[in-house]
A and B are shown apart, each in its own frame.
Chain A
């Protein structure tokens, strides 16, 4: 009887050990996959950013730029064996284009002076894009470049 109890306790402890081991490795693999995905998407983002800047340099036509970026990113992903999600990339490109459209608006020549006069101590109004000092700064930077 005692021997049976010992066998049972050993068996149960082994089962618990195996189950915990499986759970541990499963979580480890899962975490690894998540990390790899994050790394892959970071790599793709970096490449996407580089290619979009390059596309701005080399072409004026929007469609050509998009085709250029998509084709190159796809090839880059294939080369590094990264999962290429077409819709994801398209949405990223669209969001980046939208961002640049917001930043690259035309500012009248005297905007900065006017802002200094009217918004010295006033609450900054985000909705009014024409009066954003942040955006003026970005545009000034772009002009210098």
Chain B
């Protein structure tokens, strides 16, 4: 049984989904464990995982994939994994800033046990340990596992790996990095097959990770599940769409001081200013006082072109012009509501 641990600041979910889908299509039985910041579950050690799979009649499982956030990675000290994958996008999230340093110090001091380490080439300088012999993946460079992005548009990505083309509906370079990360893992496991991979990647959908949706009027909407730190994603989307004509919609469960301070800390306020028009959507009914407080705060921070909407008033078709697209930062529930309302296909 192979044990793969996937961690990093951004892209874990996409890498795990692609890996799982590929293994499933290749008839290799695999299971995924997911440990997020909120989950209270304890990390099992290797024997416990084996016991658990036997107990659940999963003894024929060939690959176990563990998805774990950077903050929780220290819990893995008791576990010896075969492949440790760090899908790091170069200090993308301030939330993980301290955890990132911690992780690299753990890797340098060999506190984590693994047979093979797979890293983004952007993290090359952070690793001092020469004994680990990590494998690096990257875009458009001369690393061992590198992918050439031939076309990056709103329709999807066209890439080239070892002189063979790979097409996908996924957008932005973030997903291209995730794809080469998956290729690196599969190559190291000697499971990579171009035809199978091409088939899996072509129509794969990764929910809430720079996901592209369409409205009934054939307008584009790009959705991501994050609630703050929008800058890098918006920059990537703008580069992909080759246009700055976007409206920004941020859906929040509850507007409070904590959320606002996070937006200030991550300079998301500037992103609100930069967009053509921004909407803050609340799924729960707010009191008038809360709405007034939010609007006052927005104006105080120089965000004049904005609106505060409650969930049932959100009609995408009404707020989108021709040649415009929408970038949405929402939660799962909001997407469900939108689908129920028939806003998105």
Q: Mark A residues whose CB is within 8 Å of B.
A: 54, 57-58, 67-68, 71-72, 75, 78-79
In angstroms, Cα B274 to Cα A72, docked, is 11
Q: Which residues of B contact A71 (CB under 8 A)?
A: 243-245
List 23 interface pairs A-B (beta carbons < 8 Å), by A numbering.
Answer: A54-B273, A54-B274, A57-B270, A57-B273, A58-B270, A58-B271, A58-B273, A58-B274, A67-B244, A68-B244, A68-B274, A71-B243, A71-B244, A71-B245, A72-B244, A72-B245, A72-B276, A75-B243, A75-B245, A75-B323, A75-B324, A78-B323, A79-B321
Q: Which residues of B contact A79 (CB under 8 A)?
A: 321
Q: Which residues of B contact A78 (CB under 8 A)?
A: 323
In angstroms, Cα B238 to Cα A71, docked, is 11
Most chain A CB atoms below 10 A, which of B244, B270, B273, B276: B244
In angstroms, Cα B322 to Cα A79, docked, is 9
B288-343 interface with A by 8 A CB criterion: 321, 323-324
Q: Which residues of A contact B274 (CB under 8 A)?
A: 54, 58, 68
Known: A57-B270, A75-B323. 15 other contacts (CB 8 A): A54-B273, A58-B270, A58-B273, A58-B274, A67-B244, A68-B274, A71-B244, A71-B245, A72-B244, A72-B245, A72-B276, A75-B243, A75-B245, A78-B323, A79-B321
**Contact-size category for B:** 10 to 19
Q: Per DSSP, are chain B's interface residues mostly helix, strand or loop, or mixed?
A: loop
Q: Which residues of B contact A68 (CB under 8 A)?
A: 244, 274
In angstroms, Cα B244 to Cα A71, docked, is 6
In angstroms, Cα B238 to Cα A68, docked, is 10
Q: Mark B residues whose CB is within 8 Å of A.
A: 243-245, 270-271, 273-274, 276, 321, 323-324
Quote the shortest CB–CB distance from B232 to chain A (angstroms).
13
Which B-chain residue is minimally distant from A67 (CB atoms)?
B244
In angstroms, Cα B244 to Cα A67, docked, is 8
Q: Which residues of A contact B243 (CB under 8 A)?
A: 71, 75
Q: Which residues of A contact B324 (CB under 8 A)?
A: 75
Quote the shortest CB–CB distance from A45 to chain B (angstroms).
19
Quote the shortest CB–CB distance from A111 to chain B (angstroms).
31
In angstroms, Cα B170 to Cα A46, docked, is 38
In angstroms, Cα B270 to Cα A98, docked, is 25
In angstroms, Cα B244 to Cα A79, docked, is 15
Quote the shortest CB–CB distance from B298 to chain A (angstroms).
15
Q: Which residues of B contact A67 (CB under 8 A)?
A: 244
In angstroms, Cα B271 to Cα A57, docked, is 10
In angstroms, Cα B244 to Cα A63, docked, is 13
In angstroms, Cα B274 to Cα A67, docked, is 13
Quote the shortest CB–CB distance from A97 to chain B (angstroms).
18
- Top-4 shortest CB links A-B: A71-B244, A58-B274, A75-B245, A68-B244
Which B-chain residue is minimally distant from A71 (CB atoms)?
B244
In angstroms, Cα B269 to Cα A58, docked, is 10
Quote the shortest CB–CB distance from A44 to chain B (angstroms).
16
In angstroms, Cα B165 to Cα A18, docked, is 71
In angstroms, Cα B324 to Cα A58, docked, is 20
In angstroms, Cα B248 to Cα A58, docked, is 15
In angstroms, Cα B231 to Cα A58, docked, is 10
Q: Which residues of A contact B323 (CB under 8 A)?
A: 75, 78
Q: Which residues of A contact B244 (CB under 8 A)?
A: 67-68, 71-72
Quote the shortest CB–CB distance from A71 to chain B (angstroms).
4
In angstroms, Cα B273 to Cα A74, docked, is 19
In angstroms, Cα B243 to Cα A57, docked, is 19
In angstroms, Cα B244 to Cα A72, docked, is 7
Quote the shortest CB–CB distance from A64 to chain B (angstroms).
8
In angstroms, Cα B82 to Cα A3, docked, is 115
In angstroms, Cα B276 to Cα A28, docked, is 37
Which B-chain residue is minimally distant from A69 (CB atoms)?
B244
Quote the shortest CB–CB distance from B244 to chain A (angstroms).
4
In angstroms, Cα B245 to Cα A73, docked, is 10
Which B-chain residue is minimally distant from A59 (CB atoms)?
B274
Which A-chain residue is minimally distant from B321 (CB atoms)?
A79
Quote the shortest CB–CB distance from B286 to chain A (angstroms).
28
Which B-chain residue is minimally distant from A51 (CB atoms)?
B244
Which A-chain residue is minimally distant from B267 (CB atoms)?
A58
In angstroms, Cα B272 to Cα A58, docked, is 10
Q: Which residues of A contact B245 (CB under 8 A)?
A: 71-72, 75
In angstroms, Cα B238 to Cα A72, docked, is 12
In angstroms, Cα B274 to Cα A57, docked, is 9
